[in-house]
Amino acid sequence: MAARKTDQPEVVTFKVAPSLVEAMKRIPNRSAFIRTAILNALENTCPLCQGLGVLTPGQKEHWQTFSADHKVEECQECRQLHLVCAKGGRRKGHRKESP
């Protein structure tokens, strides 16, 4: 059997609800839209749960150890939740753009 070239695009199929099919009919280039959505989701995946939304028992044990010295706070500037180390000094989370 010949080795498959890794630089060639591969077709991936998946099932979706009829309502999603209907909504996607209005998108001019569905393939590009789906590729972009998947890449965006992968770039913004939780590093701990890997996007599952739940922790395994082992991950939860590690989280409990970590969270003993860290807490989740809301940023006063952008209102997003973020982790804060209870032992270290506070560091500003937003980078100011250089002039």
- Left if phi > 0, otherwise alpha if psi is -120 to 50, otherwise beta: which for 36? alpha
pLDDT (tens digit, 9 = 90+) per residue, 66-89?
989 998 889 889 998 888 988 866
User: Hey, where are the domains in the chain?
Assistant: 14-44, 54-89
Is the Cβ–Cβ distance between 55 and 61 less than 8 Å? Answer: no
pTM above 0.85, yes or no: no
